């Protein structure tokens, strides 16, 4: 059965800290790994990774994928209170034209001023 595991489940930091969120997976028919931010309603897209070793960056956020060890990390530097949210890791699985997302449980991040 396809499985995505995130750690830690929750994290409390102070503004300015750097955080690392982890995602490991065991799936068949891997297509891509995606990170989302969820602040109460719809998950919003952050990154998509398909190849190992290529770091994706967007401002203070960055992510990297290791397809050999089957994990990804999401880094957030110089955290701000606006970064407080649940961060979801999802693996897209499937073949041909049929695919879907398998999510982890999420990491709840709270950034205190």
Partner 1 sequence: DTGVSQDPRHKITKRGQNVTFRCDPISEHNRLYWYRQTLGQGPEFLTYFQNEAQLEKSRLLSDRFSAERPKGSFSTLEIQRTEQGDSAMYLCASSWLGGRGYTFGSGTRLTVV
- Establish if 95 lies at the interface with partner 1 (CB under 8 A): no
- Establish if 45 lies at the interface with partner 1 (CB under 8 A): yes
Q: Burial level of 84, CB count in 10 A (0-12/13-18/19+)?
A: middle
C-alpha 94/C-alpha 105 separation (Å) is 20
C-alpha 58/C-alpha 2 separation (Å) is 29
Minimum distance between the CB of residue 4 and partner 1, rounded to whole angstroms?
A: 8
- Establish if 63 lies at the interface with partner 1 (CB under 8 A): no
- Establish if 92 lies at the interface with partner 1 (CB under 8 A): yes
C-alpha 71/C-alpha 102 separation (Å) is 14
Torsion of CA 45, 51, 53, 55, to 10 degrees: -30
Residue closer to partner 1 (CB basis): 6 or 72:
6
Residues within window 69-88 making contact with partner 1, judged by CB under 8 A:
88
Question: Rule CB under 8 A: which residues touch partner 1?
Answer: 4, 6, 9, 31-32, 34, 41-45, 48, 88, 90, 92, 94, 97-106, 108
């Amino acid at each position: 059965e396809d499985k995505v595991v995130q750690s830690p489940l929750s994290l409390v930091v102070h503004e300015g800290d750097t955080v690392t969120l982890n995602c490991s997976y065991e799936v068949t028919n891997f297509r891509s790994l995606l990170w989302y931010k969820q602040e109460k309603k719809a998950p919003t897209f952050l990154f998509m990774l398909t190849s190992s070793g290529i770091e994706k960056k967007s401002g203070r956020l960055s992510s990297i994928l290791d397809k050999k060890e089957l994990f990804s990390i999401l880094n957030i530097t110089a955290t701000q209170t606006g970064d407080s949210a649940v961060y979801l890791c999802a693996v897209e699985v499937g073949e041909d034209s049929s695919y879907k997302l398998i999510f982890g449980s999420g990491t709840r991040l709270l950034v205190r001023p």
